[in-house]
Chain A
């Protein structure tokens, strides 16, 4: 053990944590054996398909499925009338899975069919008659807020919304402290700008898929790709009106989620079809369905004002953020409002967030939900002030950065945080001094995310041959089984290869929150370490009993139980394997457990540096070099930490440059496919340098902080600031696609 003087956090010399072993699920994934959502099949299984609204907003007068039901091979049709009202908490989720009286967006599910195969199911869908009465629609956030805009719901607003807005304005949030007017008055320079960002989809490569089997005895099984099998169980049991113990949900391997698989879309529909047909039912979404009917994140419209003194001190910041979250309340605007200025230690700050409903699919969480667009707006303004005042953007950020003890813009006081460490590391990195050519520019930006912990259970079984099974309940999206095995091996003092981590179904382990909020390596890691300590205590007690000494007189070191000192007597240390071999003879199997609502996740900061070249002829932007500096607390498996940094950065680059939901005048999505919704491909990008900064999190035994989400927060601004430096145009609308940038450049020249 050593003491990290700088932060007063206990650190230790790790043997396995911090190394890069091959992940335990790796072989299955490079050989095609791993079973993802769509890879499951059950005997006698039917194929389910969903009929979707072609209207952005319409009354559903009636649905006639008689012709579909008459088609040979069709076994069941379900509509909203096949579901009971599940009550307040689940009603919106059910209505999103199956429209009730109204279709609220293009792609909204209105009916579903189960048939013996896909071609029969497809033909059956075409035979379902839906009588729609089209209604006026609205898909733009600002238009939806205006009084007189087509209203989606009559009374979805809560008490936070003042009078005078349209019924689509459903929540209002306000945060901040100090006196922003006084702060702006004290500034030498004030910048005030308005920004717009389009909705971006999580873009996971695996479409949603599930297989449901609902028996006549009221018991049900569900296999699906999800970020949280317990969430699926709770939601589906509530919607289907069954008890949670009767529904067992098994998470398949998951082909990406990024927040988009933290809710349900097809699972209740498959269960309802299975209950009605009396056979297992499989539903796999097409990519078009994924785009039209599952999460993108919110689009936004944001006004920001920032004041700065000549020497670079930020005197005040304010922001008004308007996010549309699709057809129901729940856009992540409060997180945008809370996080927008979190990187700055400000005396005067005020942010207001407006949650707005529109005729678009219900937004789903997307990696640091709500934060990237807010950071885009604020970091663009800070960059502009630096340029106007002739100041270095990293120096200004260092001068104003939140640090240990700063009052966060959303209220609390920060504990140990790593923002200044990322800035200081960036400042000395060769990237910052690399030369730039013509039409090239460099941008920097910071980002923040809260990170969460939450409900977590881990069990650890000590095998009779001295190997260890770790049983956890969070789907592994990016190598978390490797990280759990590492932490278990580290704590137990045994080789990594002796541990195998598996992910339990909902009946095999207690409740675990969804794989979200960058919580898994932190919270499940914490529970794994504590479960190991529980097992160690039991193993020490066995050794003590064999030696005839008190359990307190035994310590665990290097994978062995040892007498604590000379007073405990002379006994040969017993290895884990030796204790495990006589477990039966000394009292029975040995297992460790830990159950917790984990707190102390420790917030996360990053600084990104981006070089671009803008083609003056076409308006195309090429990212030339990109470096991520992020605080990981302690990187358990550095390769997968780097992977999170790189992947988040590239998703942000896509959002900045190309990705957008495009709606026509008719309110229909015009680009529901990867050809027209263009995510970055390999040839668009350079290598993404990932620099891991480690400021230990005092809330975790090894200092771990979540790393999954923060990496998508800075890129929107980092790229925009680089574009501005390259071509002298400040882009306030995302994406900065070639036609938009070309237009902005020609307007500047004119």
Chain B
């Protein structure tokens, strides 16, 4: 079985890799590009641990083929911060203790950023429904939801100042 050559952009950088025709984007990111921040919790699109965006659209990377990334722009947890500056969501997750084991955290952060890109002032209900595709077994979601709402407020006030 010959492999497929894929040219894509990941977190703003142009990259190329070879992958099997049936290989998921998740496996390609982790095994071909060494970007192991994106996690596999189920492999069936039920847990959201592998959340990334492809051309700005939030997806489960376990349900996308690596080959589909050709020509696209992929954003992962590794690209969320800018250099050594954390994204407000990352800071608020730390301040609110919104993670315990932390394995679902990259997926939540990517999904939450995708929400705030579309809706800078979400209600608690909107946060809960947007994040309903991301499973967390440790926290009961309370502190995650608070962190996202607080990060949104922080980003709005920063935007108002600039």
* Chain A residues packing against B (C-beta within 8 Å): 20, 22-23, 25-27, 29-36, 38-39, 119, 202-207, 253-258, 284, 286-287, 477-479, 637, 639-640, 642-643, 646-647, 649-651, 673-675, 679-685, 687-688, 690
Q: Mark B42-68, 1 if CB is under 8 A from A, else 0.
A: 111011010000000000000000000
Q: Is the interface of A mostly helix, strand, loop or mixed?
A: loop
B18, chain A: closest CB distance, angstroms: 12
Contact residues in B for A205 (Cβ distance below 8 Å): 39, 41, 47, 49, 101, 103-104, 135-137
CA distance A204 to B104 in the complex (A): 10
- Which residues of chain A have C-beta atoms less than 8 A from B71's C-beta? none
CA distance A685 to B143 in the complex (A): 12
Taking a contact as CB atoms closer than 8 A, the residue among A33, A253, A682, A687 that contacts B134 in the complex is A682
Complex CA–CA separation, A38 to B35 (angstroms):
12
Known: A30-B90, A253-B102. A682 touches B128 (CB 8 A): yes
Could you list 9 A-B pairs, sorted by A, with CB under 8 Å?
Answer: A35-B36, A39-B30, A205-B135, A639-B143, A643-B97, A646-B140, A649-B140, A683-B131, A683-B132
Besides the known contacts A643-B140, A687-B145, 14 further A-B residue pairs in the complex with CB atoms under 8 A apart: A26-B94, A29-B105, A38-B40, A39-B30, A256-B103, A287-B41, A673-B44, A673-B46, A674-B41, A681-B141, A682-B132, A682-B134, A682-B141, A683-B128
B residues in contact with A649, CB < 8 Å: 140
Docked pose: A642 CA to B135 CA in angstroms: 19
Q: Are B97 and A287 in contact (CB under 8 A)?
A: no
Q: Is the CB of B143 within 8 A of A675?
A: no
How close is B122's CB to chain A, nearest CB, in angstroms?
12
Q: Determine chain B's interface SS by DSSP, over half rule.
A: loop
User: Is A674 in contact with B101, judged by CB distance below 8 angstroms?
Assistant: no
State whether B143 touches A287 (Cβ < 8 A): no
Contact with A along B65-108 (1 / 0, CB 8 A): 00000000000111011000010001001111101111111100
Q: Is the CB of B97 within 8 A of A647?
A: no
Q: Which residues of A contact B8 (CB under 8 A)?
A: none
Task: Please report the C-alpha to C-alpha distance between residue A206 and residue B105 in the assembled complex, in whole angstroms.
Answer: 12
B144 on the interface (CB 8 Å rule)?
yes
List, in ascending order, chain B residues with CB within 8 A of A31's CB.
37, 77-78, 80-81, 86, 90
CB distance from B113 to the nearest CB of A (A): 12
Q: A residues within 8 A CB of B142? A: 642, 646, 685, 687-688, 690
Closest 10 CB pairs of A and B: A32-B37, A255-B103, A29-B102, A650-B140, A639-B97, A674-B46, A646-B140, A32-B77, A478-B100, A30-B90
| Bound-state Cα–Cα, A685 to B131, Å | 12
CB distance from B130 to the nearest CB of A (A): 8
B78 touches A32 (CB 8 A): yes
Beta-carbon contact of B93 and A643 below 8 Å: no
- A25–B97 Cα distance when bound, in Å, is 11
A32 in contact with B140 (CB, 8 Å) = no
Q: Which residues of A contact B49 (CB under 8 A)?
A: 205
Complex interface bits, B116-131 against A, C-beta within 8 A gives 1, otherwise 0: 0000000011011101
Asked if residues B137 and A256 are in contact (CB atoms below 8 Å), the reply is yes
Chain A residues whose CB sits within 8 angstroms of the CB of B47 once the complex forms: 205, 287, 674
A258 to B139, CA, bound (A): 12
Complex Cα distance, B99 from A639, in Å, reads: 10
Nearest-Cβ distance from residue B43 to partner chain A, whole angstroms: 6
B41: chain A residues at CB < 8 Å are 205-207, 255, 287, 674
Q: Select which of A203, A642, A685 is within 8 A of B141 by beta carbon.
A: A685
| Shortest Cβ gap from B117 to chain A (Å) | 18
* CA–CA, A65 and B86, complex, Å: 51
- Residues A258 and B137 in contact, CB atoms below 8 Å apart: yes
CA distance A477 to B143 in the complex (A): 16
Annotate B8-29 by CB proximity to A: 1 below 8 A, 0 otherwise: 0000000000001010000000
Most buried by B among A29, A258, A477: A29
Using CB atoms, name the residue of chain B closest to A290: B42
B152 in the interface, Cβ–Cβ < 8 Å? no
Interchain CB contact (< 8 A) of B145 among A33, A647, A682: A682
Quick one: which of B1, B103, B127, B132 has the most chain A CB within 10 A? B103
Answer yes or no: B138 CB below 8 A from chain A CBs: yes
Contacts of B102 in A (CB 8 A): 25, 29-30, 34, 253, 255
